[in-house]
Structure 1
Amino acid sequence: MHAPATIDSAHYRRHIEANVVFRRFPSALGPRRHALWSERGGLPRAAILLPAGQATLSGGQDALELKGPALALISVQPQHFLRLAAGTPAQILAFSDLLLIDAIGKGAESVPLRYLAERRLVASSEHNPTQFDDLAHAFGAIERELTREDSASWRFLSAQLAVIMIQCWRLSGLEAVGQQSASTQGALLMRFRHMVELHFREHWRIARYAEALGLSHDRLHDICVRTLKRPPLDLVHDRLAHEACLQLIRSGLSIEQIAADLGFRNTTHFTRFFRIRTGSPPARYRSNIARQRSDRSEDTLRSFADWP
């Protein structure tokens, strides 16, 4: 969990408010337009729940038509507006990349969620009311948590966002498509990525990944190079370096603790690996980001879809 654990309640509440905002719009007699980007700058992600009625998301890419019941996941731009038709209620959950990363987590299920996170997606629950009820419950739970007299729980909020992401994945049909494509190279790469998520801290050799996938080392190498233009070891090392960057920026762990958590024999080994992947030793990387939060580093950390 990335939320501070030892700060005062007022600071903790400000931390929550800076990372998640919930807005509910009851149905009205006439059409309305609501900006998704707030005056204070806005949060980069939004989940829009439309229980019924019709709405249009305008700005950014082509206009997106929504017909309830539906859920939309988008990356928010300053020009985004949600236009609600008469009689249409809506709930908007805006959230930060920080909360999203915690919701996605580190297990095998994080792979499709990471894939989902970088794509504008609309999921209809017209033919599955039970899953829509689960979505509505998660939205309501977040709303109630944010209005508690005591400080809201970061872990509770990230868990409910995970439920929303998983249900959106299921409703979108992407889960079924992935299960039906077991013989394709894309599906093999997805399985490889699942295994990397589970075992990158254990520093598995590529031959072990290949064996677990029922492939030869050369076959796995060939699939990665022809599809992604990169060898499998490079992909595994990228995942390891990505996690190291996240922990250096967003955790209070020492470099020694991060090295141990990521499975390195010692800090020297970790430092050498990190310098090769990023061009900077861990301590300097952490201090540079803390001082200037460079655009390049932020873009790297926000990219969840580097694999298919």
Structure 2
Amino acid sequence: MSALSGNGDNASAFSKKGAAGGPPFIHYDERLPGSDFRFLHVEKISTRIRKYNWELFPHRHRDLFQMVLLEAGRGHFSYDLSEDVLEAPVLVLVPPLIVHSFRYEPQLAGQILTISDSYIDELARFSGEPQLPQMLMSPLVHGLRGEPAQLAHVVAALAAISDNLTSTRRGRGANLSANVLGILGLLSQYVREEPLPGSETQRRRQLYADFRDLIEQHFREQLPIASYAAMMSVTERTLHRVCRDVAGESPLKIAHRRIGLEAQRLLLYSSLTVGEVAYHLGFRDPSNFSRFFVENIGEPPQVFRRTRLG
């Protein structure tokens, strides 16, 4: 789900190593680095929306999940064929690939948490809450009126994330993960999933989610797309159509991006040599891995590691 080459709906990426050698949690200005697999950011809603006359026209994020907390004011949230009137306080979930728009009244207060989809997937699976991964696939509007404890919980978690993002203390990465898990725990406890409009839309997204789950289990085996289709009991043509409709990419591109993501993780956070990374990911020859890495990431693996680790 991450655009590892920095192409697509998000602008080009930049990264820097986290404090105490931890994973890269980074700020952005106008760039949305979808290729950073543990990207996390919090900002005020007004920071960006003011520039666009309080309206964001229909758009989507290929690699980024957003939580929008409207603490004061009113607005409108549109997605697919639905539109919700937002009355503060309210929490809005916007998954990747969902075409959506926002329109706000100028007098508002609120925050946006933006997180790479690969990272929130990782945390959702780690949470031990089986309904969370499915719940996070769909747009959701959760009203917080009459729920002061829930509102305080989310506000405190976002404040802690902001503090940890600028911190150089040890344990920063673990604290950030705990902060996000705190919000996910709240959602799993209080929020029921809202069905998407149209059974066919829901079916396509579910098939896409099933494909992503299978990739997660088998990407090191580098299976042909036909094998994934067989495991899903659909034709290869259907799988291609679903991936194109939901993600705008071919199944092979999606599978390659997951391999590339794991390659980046291993190069940054393990002591494996480039050759060992290649064999770990199912390549028979390190030279084939190097070509794959250049084609998908944009530079040789040795250069990728050296420029980020020094």
TM-score (norm. length: structure 1): 0.52
In terms of fraction of residues, the more helix-rich structure is 1
Partners of 2:208 and 2:243 within 8 A in 1: no
TM-score (norm. length: structure 2): 0.52
Compared CA separation, residues 232 and 152, structure 1 to 2 (3 A)? closer
Compared CA separation, residues 82 and 151, structure 1 to 2 (3 A)? farther
- Match 2:121 to one of 104, 110, 116: 104
Percent of aligned pairs sharing the same letter: 21
Give the deviation of 1:138 after TM superposition.
4.4
Aligned to 1:224: 239
Aligned to 2:255: 236
Give the deviation of 1:196 after TM superposition.
1.2
Partners of 2:90 and 2:145 within 8 A in 1: no
Partners of 1:135 and 1:164 within 8 A in 2: no
Q: Aligned AA for 2:142?
A: S
Q: Aligned AA for 2:18?
A: P
Task: Mark the structure with the bigger radius of gyration.
Answer: 1
Q: Aligned AA for 1:4?
A: G
Counterpart check, 1:67 vs 2:87:
yes
Partners of 2:160 and 2:179 within 8 A in 1: no
Partners of 1:46 and 1:92 within 8 A in 2: no
Aligned to 2:302: 283
Q: How far, CA to CA, are the matches of 1:110 and 1:271 in structure 2?
A: 33
Partners of 2:157 and 2:183 within 8 A in 1: no
Counterpart check, 1:35 vs 2:47:
yes
Q: How far, CA to CA, are the matches of 1:285 and 1:105 in structure 2?
A: 23
Counterpart check, 1:143 vs 2:143:
no
Structure 2 residue ranges without an equivalent (≥5): 1-15, 29-39, 51-63, 78-83, 97-102, 126-131
**Aligned counterparts, 1:189-204, within 5 A:** 189-204=208-223
Q: How far, CA to CA, are the matches of 1:65 and 1:268 in structure 2?
A: 54
**Aligned counterparts, 1:1-308, within 5 A:** 4=18, 6=20, 20-21=41-42, 34-36=46-48, 47-50=67-70, 54-56=73-75, 66-72=86-92, 83-84=106-107, 90-95=109-114, 101-105=118-122, 113=136, 123-125=141-143, 136-144=152-160, 146=163, 153-162=172-181, 164=183, 171=191, 173=193, 176-177=195-196, 184-215=203-234, 219=235, 221-228=236-243, 232-244=251-263, 251=269, 255-256=274-275, 258-265=277-284, 267-277=286-296, 280-284=299-303
User: After alignment, is 268-277 or 159-168 more displaced?
Assistant: 159-168
Q: Aligned AA for 2:287?
A: T
Aligned to 1:299: none
Aligned pairs, number: 243
Structure 1 residue ranges without an equivalent (≥5): 24-32, 39-43, 59-63, 292-308
Give the deviation of 1:222 after TM superposition.
1.0
Q: How far, CA to CA, are the matches of 1:103 and 1:265 in structure 2?
A: 32
Cα RMSD (Å) = 5.4
Q: Deviations over 1:170-207 (max 9, x none)?
A: 95845x44996699444323311221123213333434
Partners of 1:47 and 1:94 within 8 A in 2: yes
Compared CA separation, residues 222 and 16, structure 1 to 2 (3 A)? closer
Q: Aligned AA for 1:161?
A: V
